[in-house]
Structure 1
Amino acid sequence: MNARIRIKTLVAGAALATLGLAGTAIAQTFPARPVTLMVPYPAGGLSDVIARSLNVTLGKQLGQPVVIENLGGASGAIAAQKVLSNPSDGYTVFQGSPNELILAPLANASNKLRSEDFRLVQMIATAQIAFLAKKDLPVNSVDEFVEYARKAAKDGKPLTFASVGPGSFYHLLGEHLSKVTGIPMVHVPYKGAAPAEQDLMAGQVDFFLAPYGKKYDEMQKQGRVKVLAMLNSERLESVKQYPAISESKQLKDFTFKIWTGYFVKKDTPDPVATALHKAITGTLGDPAVHQALEANSQLLPRPQTLAEADRAYTDGIQQFRSIAKSIGLQAQ
């Protein structure tokens, strides 16, 4: 019996050693071909802008081109599922956020992915959230909006709000806004921010709690949308022309942000994850990348170690699951 145990131990040790050698070999050759950066929304939205701010420099860091693939739908879960269907070799990197990896599985019963199926390699940026209203909504502040929304609901014409899909962070924000104000509102889901913006400008939807981008400055100047506030706890220098929502009387505590990170499948070999982490961290240190992200009002976090990224993702899972529970989000 003891002999059998020793043999099994030796076999297991040999297998682990083989895996270790294989991982080392992969790391030494990775990447040997182009890497795909999967963006879970259509071209033109903020997620796409972020990806195109990084991919060329990231390609230089890796020594191979980084090709962007846009695939929208199901609050980003379609793209996430495609990543999971690919090999765990690091050649498909997912540009993700709590939208796709934490909230979408809670909102869509047909979505079988788990948050824990992914590993965060590095945080990329934190997005501020803008309170956008259609141009002809007769309000010019958050407090005026609340009063108008309350009257509209009483008249049987509740305001509509856009999101990038059921269960997305922006869907939850709209539902949470409805809950904290006690005002009925109607959710209108889209496949991404770009089509939601188009309908907002066309007056087909009343408001959109959206990740902020500089393009909204021009849209407001042109009278195509109204930026009522930023969901910040204080007025930041980069967006000082807009009130922080904390300056309102009725929604002063309605402050939120959302982060974006680069992910791989959970079982991607550690040497490959380490190689990607090094390249992504180097990319974020590039001044041109800094400028491009900041030009779109992205807040750049301090680079994390892989261990710190693991902890941050675990904490994020718990945080956003709690938000979903607080509004009673049910899988449909």
Structure 2
Amino acid sequence: MRSTTLEDQEMNNAIERRTLLGAAALAPLAGRSAAAQAAWPERPVRFILGFGAGGTTDIVARLLAPAMAAEIGQPVVVENRPGAGGTLAAEQLARAPKDGHALMLINNGYAVSAALYRRLPYDPVADVDPVSMVASVGLVLLAGPASAPNAIADFNDLVRRARAEPEKLNVATVGVGSTQHLVAEATQAAGNFKLTHVPYRGTPAALVGLRNAEVQVVVEPISSVLGQIRDGAARPLAVTSRERSTLLPDVPTVAELLNQPDFDIPTWYALAAPAGTPDGVLARIDAATRKVIAMPEISARLVELGLAPRALGSRAAVKAMVHAEIARWSRLVESAGIQRQ
């Protein structure tokens, strides 16, 4: 074995010095990374929306934004990116920096688009992380006034007549492949009856069709049609959430009427971030969101809009719920024979 020489000792000392210098150089970088994560947010946060101004998603986002800004100490800017069923906004989110400064308020439409579109420019499961549930609301099956021709008396009358004469009665939604369309299909499958689907360009047009007796049933989120229900222009037959709506406490659920306690199809709203966002940042987003929706003035306003403020367990539970929704709508698209786009 060769003995250690003075030259060997000097070489070892040089290697040790370089190792220590390298570690010292990396330490500030690691410190800055940890500090950046802990200091979130460092600049304004964007709420990306897949729908235009004035809809429920937009209203909810603009309600949350100022309260969230006050909570996190940075401005929160709402950006509407409508088009292609919300997929343009989802693509923008998936490609955004993974630092928590770009978030998206997603709803059922996110899961529906994942089920309906054959090819998306992002992976709806792998590229986006649902973080926090914000609110939910059931949808409602509406009939026209009792005086309208061929009017539906109640939900049981609808089922009875649709089973006796399949596809004779019409159901209106805001379009093929919309959440309302798939909810209508799910309700028919659960009740073993069949209606003819009539797509309209938006809720107002569908309600005009109901008033003119062109269709006998309309499916819409409760929050979108409270005015028509209250003024008697439309009559609620059933709601699609598992529990009755606090806004329509006398209206039974589809689950009750069909004796299917697991039938539960609310419209939900959740904040999502690009996949790969640091866990510490996601935890801060989740904590801030929970605090905001628990504020009395925020929760009261959500209720006024017909929504139920809704925290849903852990972040893992929120992610599992959204992924389960994608799977559910995918099965329904296939079983209902809806053509994927």
Q: TM tier, shorter chain?
A: 0.7 to 0.9
Percent of pairs identical after alignment? Answer: 23
Contact 1:149 1:159 in 2 (8 A): no
Contact 1:105 1:112 in 2 (8 A): no
2:181 counterpart residue number: 171
Instruction: State the 1:326 CA deviation.
Output: 3.9
Contact 2:312 2:318 in 1 (8 A): no
Partners of 1:62 and 1:217 lie apart in 2 by 34
Asked if residue 280 in structure 1 is aligned to residue 286 in structure 2, the reply is no
Asked if residue 80 in structure 1 is aligned to residue 90 in structure 2, the reply is yes
1:199 counterpart residue number: 205
Partners of 1:81 and 1:189 lie apart in 2 by 27
After superposition, where does 1:102-141 map in structure 2 within 5 Å? 102-116=111-125, 117-134=127-144, 136=148, 138-141=151-154
Q: Residues 239 and 178 of structure 1: is their aligned pair in 2 closer, same or farther, counting only changes over 3 Å?
A: closer
Q: TM-score, normalised by structure 2?
A: 0.76
Instruction: State the 1:23 CA deviation.
Output: 3.8
Contact 1:128 1:258 in 2 (8 A): yes
Equivalent pairs, count: 308
Instruction: State the 1:263 CA deviation.
Output: 0.1
Contact 2:115 2:329 in 1 (8 A): no
- Select the residue among 158, 181, 187 that pairs with 1:145: 158
Q: Residues 134 and 265 of structure 1: is their aligned pair in 2 closer, same or farther, counting only changes over 3 Å?
A: farther
Asked if residue 161 in structure 1 is aligned to residue 208 in structure 2, the reply is no
Instruction: State the 1:181 CA deviation.
Output: 3.5
2:4 counterpart residue number: none
Asked if residue 94 in structure 1 is aligned to residue 107 in structure 2, the reply is no
Contact 1:40 1:72 in 2 (8 A): yes
Partners of 1:245 and 1:21 lie apart in 2 by 55
Contact 1:104 1:166 in 2 (8 A): no
After superposition, where does 1:254-273 map in structure 2 within 5 Å? 255-273=264-282
1:5 counterpart residue number: none
Asked if residue 230 in structure 1 is aligned to residue 236 in structure 2, the reply is no
Instruction: State the 1:56 CA deviation.
Output: 1.4
Offset from partner CA, 1:33-82 (integer Å, 9 cap, x none): 32221222222222223223312111111112222223333222222122
Instruction: State the 1:127 CA deviation.
Output: 1.7
2:55 counterpart residue number: 45
Q: TM-score, normalised by structure 1?
A: 0.78
Instruction: State the 1:287 CA deviation.
Output: 1.1
Q: Residues 143 and 68 of structure 1: is their aligned pair in 2 closer, same or farther, counting only changes over 3 Å?
A: same
Larger radius of gyration: 2
Contact 1:93 1:263 in 2 (8 A): yes
Contact 2:144 2:234 in 1 (8 A): yes
After superposition, where does 1:312-327 map in structure 2 within 5 Å? 312-327=321-336
Partners of 1:189 and 1:19 lie apart in 2 by 56
2:196 counterpart residue number: 185
SS at match of 2:209: coil
1:6 counterpart residue number: none
Partners of 1:189 and 1:84 lie apart in 2 by 31
1:27 counterpart residue number: 37
Q: Residues 221 and 17 of structure 1: is their aligned pair in 2 closer, same or farther, counting only changes over 3 Å?
A: same
Give the aligned CA root-mean-square deviation in angstroms.
3.3
Instruction: State the 1:293 CA deviation.
Output: 1.6
- Select the residue among 288, 306, 327 that pairs with 2:315: 306
Contact 1:122 1:281 in 2 (8 A): yes
- Structure 1 segments unaligned to the other structure (5+ residues): 1-12
Partners of 1:19 and 1:147 lie apart in 2 by 69
Contact 1:75 1:166 in 2 (8 A): no
Contact 2:132 2:311 in 1 (8 A): no
Q: Residues 103 and 20 of structure 1: is their aligned pair in 2 closer, same or farther, counting only changes over 3 Å?
A: farther
Instruction: State the 1:264 CA deviation.
Output: 0.5
Contact 1:118 1:264 in 2 (8 A): yes
